[in-house]
Amino acid sequence: MAKKMTKRDFIRYALLGGGAVVGLSGMKMFASTMPMPAPGEIKGGVWKWSKEAEFYVPTPRGMRCQLCPNECDIEEGKTGDCRTRVTEDGKLYSIVYGNPCSMHIDPIEKKPLFHFLPQSRAFSVATAGCNLACLNCQNWQISQKSPKETRNYDLMPEKLVDKAASNQCDSIAYTYSEPIVFYEYMYDSARMARDRGIKNVMISAGYIKERPLRQLCRYIDAANIDLKSFSNDIYMRLNAGDLDTVLNTLKVFKEEGVWLEITNLVVPEWTDDLDMIKRMSQWLYKEGFEDTPLHFSRFHPMHKLTHLPATPVSTLNEARQAAKDAGLNYVYVGNVPGSEAENTFCPSCGKKIIWRRGYHILKNHVKDGQCEYCGQSIPGVWH
Ligand code: SF4
């Protein structure tokens, strides 16, 4: 029986570094049971944990990866842009399969997922690598690295699921860096976790081609997708991605019935234009996402944007108001502890129905998926 995160757990995880991505330093709780392989361990010219990639086609320029829109042509012995896929002997391999560099138990609220099994525990994993290159990346120490540069655990899918079960986690979260680049590891783990009654959640930028995404949706229960801006130009210059792919990802998750929440990081001088935020919110409403929680998240100076200030709280509140004015029902502000906007309000009677403080739930007035005060149905996946 999975266990809810208690206040004591919460304090313990906060002490272990729960406010930021947790790499090997956050592994204290597993250090005695998990042997640490030497970095750079290679077998037969291919990484020890390699698995043949699922989505690629051979071309005269090498293997063309078909997992994300970058469509890298990867020559023999070379890796793709994400640093996690290598061509060897005319085949494309994932070199991060069973090879995570970060693991931790997090409250589900940290993902953030606010309407999905509140106060439950998510066994969270990440490997090195990412298919984007965001200037503001919060986890660049692992996302902008090759697995050859990180210290990695040997944790095949069965062992990962065992760890989640033995630690009484309701879900496994594929998170921190970019789970799309460890697709095969995530997919196999998610399939096994489903068989064991453990849910799967994916925290991602959503920069993936449609065919692998639809296949993955079979085993993913919930996702939080970064909608980084509402401009193709900004996506290109800030993230090395494109907007249209991410919008399509949102639609596919919705069509496939995966519980979805969206995060928009408001970066000063880049993504804080209120007109753009209004257009984004109007698009979400028009496309039927009015009940999809939207989290406006506060930027802190990071990676290649350390010269910028943190997002003013007033900007986040303006963004939230614009989204509510556009018709979105559940709009939150993140990374601002103590903000009133981290609570859930019933869209019908207006009462505060889930009281939060950071990642901790103080009161929950959603019962059987309904507002306890007026009976309004509150969308989400509830205990
Ligand atoms: S997943 Fe990696 S190798 Fe494949 S296309 Fe995207 S960036 Fe290139």
β-strands 294-298, 171-174 pairing? unpaired
**Could you tell me where in the chain the CATH 3.20.20.70 domains are found?**
7-31+100-371
DSSP 6: P
Instruction: Give the SS3 label for residue 252.
Output: helix
The number of helix segments (H) and strand segments (E) in the chain equals 9, 21
The residue assigned the tokens 């070199």 is 95
Does residue 95 have its Cβ closer than 6 Å to ligand 1? no
Does residue 85 have its Cβ closer than 6 Å to ligand 1? yes
Ligand 1: centre distance to CA 64 (Å): 9
Instruction: Give the SS3 label for residue 320.
Output: helix
β-strands 259-266, 222-226 pairing? parallel
Reported as a single tens digit per residue, the pLDDT across 224-255 is: 999 999 999 999 999 999 999 999 999 999 99
Q: What is the pLDDT of residue 20?
A: 34
- pLDDT > 80? residue 176: yes
Does residue 205 have its Cβ closer than 6 Å to ligand 1? no
Q: Which two tokens stand for residue 103?
A: 């693991």
Ligand 1: centre distance to CA 132 (Å): 9
- pLDDT > 70? residue 202: yes
For residue 92, the ligand 1 atom closest to its alpha carbon is 3
Ligand 1: centre distance to CA 242 (Å): 14
Distance (Å, whole) CA 298 – CA 203:
17
Average pLDDT over residues 44-51: 66
Which residues, including other chains, have CB under 8 Å from residue 124's CB and lie 6 or more apart? 22, 102, 103, 104, 105, 106, 172, 173, 175, 176
Ligand 1: centre distance to CA 322 (Å): 35
Does residue 81 have its Cβ closer than 6 Å to ligand 1? yes
User: Got the DSSP string for 50-115?
Assistant: -EE-SSEEEETTEEEE-SSTT--EE-BT-B-TTS-EEEETTEEEES-TT--SEEEEEEGGGTT-SS
Does residue 179 have its Cβ closer than 6 Å to ligand 1? no
CATH superfamily of 7-31+100-371: Aldolase class I (3.20.20.70)
pTM: 0.90
Distance (Å, whole) CA 2 – CA 23:
24
Average pLDDT of the chain, as a whole number: 90
Ligand 1: centre distance to CA 237 (Å): 18
